[in-house]
Amino acid sequence: MVSARENERYLPGVRLPERLKIRALGGRDDQFHRADLVFIAVPSSGIDAALAELTRQGVAGHAGLVSLTKGLVPPDGTPPTLALERAFGPQRVACVGGPAHAREMVEGGAGLICASHSPELAERVARVLRAGRVVCEASADPVGVELAGCAKNAAALAAGATESQGLNAAGMAAADIFGEVLALAELNGGSARTFLGRAGTGDLVATALAPSSRNRSAGELLAAGVPASEIPERLGQAVEALETVPLLATAIERAGLSAPMTSALARLIEGSLPLDEWVALVRVSQPATRRRGGGRMAAWWRRMRARLAG
């Protein structure tokens, strides 16, 4: 990328501005300490490594840290913003969601949403993106935005895994999983309105229609019998849903909620549930209802955010 001034593998033909400096992470002159905003655009599995490097390099005390990740951090299923908040505090952390397919974003813009516990930071990031001809609204619901992105990826994977059995079945699978993750978001303070907006349904529609959707394509490969471990190499890119779905299933169960379809999709990913049994479950599933008496995960999440805020 340094010599060619473009990402020849993922975005060929789009030349990067000459004023944009490109460096490999870990160089001695990264100069994160001079940045006003640090955008973290790595797969969820790379969040810890990125955090370690940012901590080692040092980040300016006034700088905002913005997660572009749509997944959960393994092995505990930690939301990326919460991982960042542990290191830098909730008022310095934001996340971005919404439909943002790379080539279309370069050529015609995108419709995004930036969320933070700090209204000032959310609006600051939104202004920066608007300056680049990107429509971006500010939100105070990082929980909703992050989990809506997770729900979108999981729903797209489920639809892809079921599409060969008919569009109705694919729609049922996507809707049920979307609803299960929404219940988790609401329990942890997220808003259903966020799920109904750009971060959720908007991003899901864009993913469902995109010919190059990684998560939907990964679902199609699962349905064709390709092991989950081989799919990223087949597609040539990371597939967030393959790692996020099992973490989501565990988080939903810990919260005392019912997650039959998310759990079944996790088993399909790990290879313990045959495709025909997955399809049979989809066809007879009923929307999940909340179980009373749980909530350990929700209580932990609230305590952690309160501790960071204090």
Active site (catalytic) residues: 152
Calpha distance 297→37 (Å, rounded): 31
Which stretches within the chain are classed as H helix? 47-57, 80-88, 102-108, 119-131, 142-162, 167-187, 192-196, 203-209, 214-223, 231-235, 240-254, 260-270, 275-284, 296-309
**How many CB atoms lie under 10 A from the CB of residue 60?**
15
Q: Alpha carbon 240 to chain centroid distance? A: 7
Residue 180's identity, in one-letter code, is: E
Backbone angles phi, psi at 75, to 5 degrees: -95, -5
Structure tokens at 281: 């479950």
Angle ∠(43,260,303) on CA atoms, nearest 5: 60
Paired tokens of 280: 């049979």
> What is the signed CA dihedral for 108, 114, 120, 123, rounded to 10 degrees?
20
Contact 161, 223 (CB under 8 A): yes
Q: Which two tokens stand for residue 89?
A: 């505090």
**Sheet-wide strand order for 111-116:** 37-40, 64-67, 93-97, 111-116, 135-139
- Pairing verdict, β 64-67 and 93-97: parallel
Tell me which residue has tokens 């990913």.
269
Structure tokens at 8: 């020849």
Longest dimension (CA), the chain: 58
Please name the residue that has the structure tokens 């209204």: 119
Closest CA to 155 of 292, 56, 248: 248
